[in-house]
A and B are shown apart, each in its own frame.
Chain A
Amino acid sequence: MVGVKKNRWFAPLAIGSVLLFFYLPILIMMIFSFNDSRSLTGWSGFSTQWYEALFKDREMMKAVYTTITIALASTLVATFMGTITAIGISKSRKLIKELILTVNNFPILNPEIVTAIGLMLLFSSLSITKGFYTMLIAHIIFSTPYVILSVLPKLRQLDADTAEAALDLGATPWQALFKVIIPQIMPGVVSGALIAFTMSFDDFVISYFVTGNGVKNISILVYTMSKRINPTINALSTILVVIITFALILINVVPNMKKKERISIE
């Protein structure tokens, strides 16, 4: 235990208050998604009508589909491109390394709106019709830097000798890459992929500026629908919250279970 010890009641109270603060809107949103009326302030009884409406709403289903597809596709491309680039960077001359990393930082350090308008200007100038593919390209552009930043530290920590040893034992560079390097940096790749996925799934600002042709993701749809009270938004959000909760529990519980298995076997 480190540092100043405050009174016993302070810590739980503080944590409790913060958690209440964080979860109050979420809970209210979830509760009201089952409200019988459209009101967001008055409870009129339990109903699942908004969930039914959600699945019947073409726009919403289309937006969900768009969001998922773009998130999956952009994550795949960004992770792949980011990983090989990170590997390349680790083997590059200092000058190239600095250059790439500096430019790589722009989407991260720039406010989202600046990246967004830059891309919008790009597509407009080249007269590229904005829509699904421009959104996809934009997502790949802003996700890849995060993958790179996630993989690079792992590469630095890498034991260079292992790869050298593999070469000495007769492996080709590609075999060394796939069988030695990649498995070791895998945690970085996986977390990079997760970050890329989340950023794409949740993105609003950049998607908003580069989309067209009626293509919308969930965030854009919520933005346009927010003008009128629409409990279907609450229904969709509740479903997302439930899925996310499950996913987080899985990610955290499953590895622990595997650990226990291994321990009990030993």
Chain B
Amino acid sequence: MRKMLPVLLTALLVLSACSAKPSTSTLKVFNWGVYIDDAVIAEFEEKYDAKVVYDNFESNEAMYTKLQGGEKYDVLVPSDYMIERLIDEDKLQKLDFSKIPNYEGIIETLKGLPSDPTNEYSVPYFWGNVGLLYNTETVDLADLEEQGWNILINTKYAGKVFIYDSERDAFMIAYKALGYSANSTVPAQTEAAYQWLRKLNSTMDPAYVTDDVIDNMIEGVKDIAVMYSGDAAYIVTENESMAYFVPREGTNLWVDSMVIPSDAQNPDLAHKWINFMLEKEVALMNTVYVGYTTPVQEVFDEVTGEGGDYEGIEAYIPRTGDEHDETFRYDEDLKRILSDLWTKVKAQ
């Protein structure tokens, strides 16, 4: 043992020396899972001689909690309502758009969003809506068209439904199914939505999933799934019997954008990252790999045009201009109430 000790200690020293490389610039990015083409990260690191520490979160809420716990990042990619909250709480810094010339190429309708009306804090990354992915062979399109979101409490499909484990999306669906606004703060409506979800939970035997729904639906494990448009676009290319449907009651139109927290340690590199993501080649790689709709106009035109990867795929082009579609707004009290109620729905 005594002879082993010096050997072990030396080994440890060598190992730790290997990891202590001279510090080049480090960029810490916090993003959704499977939301980037990994090759893009490598390209960025090479181009800017930097090291990227890339971390994932499963939901806006989990991201926020991580920040609360003291984690510092340079770039975050939250959804619109979460950005609204962060701006409200003074947690973001204003962007220096002179460092983001590629911003010019952003689709016009994605500028001046309700979450950041003066366009000072965020730059769009991906956008889309929420809908139902269904198996054309086992689900009646007529049912979908007639019942919309209420098909999720249609016991005809009991045991064959995937629900996304996201409190805001679940409540949005409930609100819309009942004809209310997804941002409703009326207690009676929230209570009704809660009851609707409880009914779903107890009569439909749903499975609550997050990203694991993607591979499950490619394998056709269930017949209907609540799905983000980007994932739907990907699945539809992998499984031909699947199709995407957006109910007439309306849905949530969302935009995930890149922001820089106020306590970012490398804001300069962060700006470079944001600009890099909007470069035509990079945005193209990302959207083709991930499946979500790109905010860069030129790339959007290319992939939806002739010969493009997403030509003819409805899921890729979120419908705009429907008056029933809403973007989420942030409301502190509503958030707390929904959090609680959602935990209770699942705990049933």
Residues of A within 8 A of B (CB): 39, 41, 65, 69, 72-73, 76, 120, 124, 127, 129-130, 178, 182, 186, 189, 212-214, 224, 226-229
Contact = CB atoms under 8 A, between A and B. Distances in A.
Given A228-B212, A228-B215, 8 more contacts: A69-B12, A69-B19, A73-B12, A213-B28, A213-B71, A224-B33, A227-B211, A228-B211
The 9 nearest A-B residue pairs measured at CB: A227-B211, A214-B53, A229-B215, A214-B55, A227-B212, A212-B71, A124-B69, A69-B15, A124-B70
A214 B52 CA distance: 10
A127 B71 CA distance: 10
Given A182-B1, A227-B211, A130 B71 contact: yes
Given A41-B219, A76-B8, A76-B12, A228 B72 contact: no
A214 B16 CA distance: 18
Contacts of B2: 178
B54 interface: yes
Interface residues of B, number: 27
A142 B9 CA distance: 21
Of A39, A127, A129, A224, most buried by chain B (CB within 10 Å of CB) is: A224
Contacts of B34: 227-228
B133 to A, nearest CB: 16
Contacts of B56: 224
Nearest to A41: B219
B6 to A, nearest CB: 12
Interface of B: 1-2, 8-9, 11-12, 15-16, 19, 28, 33-34, 53-56, 66, 69-72, 210-212, 214-215, 219
Nearest to B52: A214
Contacts of A120: 69
Given A69-B16, A76-B8, A227 B210 contact: yes
B246 to A, nearest CB: 24
Contacts of B54: 214
A213 B15 CA distance: 20
A207 to B, nearest CB: 15
Contact of B53 (A39, A178, A189, A213): A213
Contacts of B19: 65, 69
Given A69-B15, A182-B1, A228 B214 contact: yes
A210 to B, nearest CB: 10
Nearest to B56: A224
Nearest to A75: B8
Nearest to A212: B71
Looking at chain B's contact residues, is the secondary structure mostly helix, strand, loop, or mixed? mixed
A228 B69 CA distance: 27
A76 B9 CA distance: 9
A127 B70 contact: yes
Contacts of B66: 212
Contacts of B9: 76
20 contacts: A41-B219, A69-B12, A69-B19, A72-B8, A72-B11, A72-B12, A120-B69, A124-B69, A124-B70, A129-B72, A130-B69, A130-B70, A212-B66, A212-B71, A213-B71, A224-B33, A226-B212, A227-B210, A228-B215, A229-B215
A186 B2 CA distance: 12
A130 B67 CA distance: 12
Contacts of B12: 69, 72-73, 76
A65 B16 CA distance: 10
Nearest to A215: B53
Given A73-B12, A76-B8, A213-B53, A227 B71 contact: no
Contacts of A214: 28, 53-55
A59 to B, nearest CB: 8
A228 B211 CA distance: 7
A227 B212 CA distance: 4
A224 B215 CA distance: 15
Contacts of A76: 8-9, 12
A261 B335 CA distance: 72
A60 to B, nearest CB: 12
Nearest to B214: A228
A128 to B, nearest CB: 8
B19 to A, nearest CB: 8
Nearest to A178: B2
A228 B54 CA distance: 18
A148 B8 CA distance: 21
Contacts of B55: 213-214
B1 A129 contact: no
Nearest to B33: A227
Contacts of A189: 1
A259 B150 CA distance: 73
A76 B214 CA distance: 43
Contacts of A124: 69-70
A120 B68 CA distance: 12
A197 to B, nearest CB: 12
Contacts of A39: 219
A186 B1 CA distance: 9
A65 B48 CA distance: 25
A74 B210 CA distance: 34
A170 B9 CA distance: 32
A129 B212 contact: no
Contacts of A182: 1
A73 B12 CA distance: 7
Contacts of A65: 19
A150 to B, nearest CB: 15
A73 to B, nearest CB: 6
Nearest to A73: B12
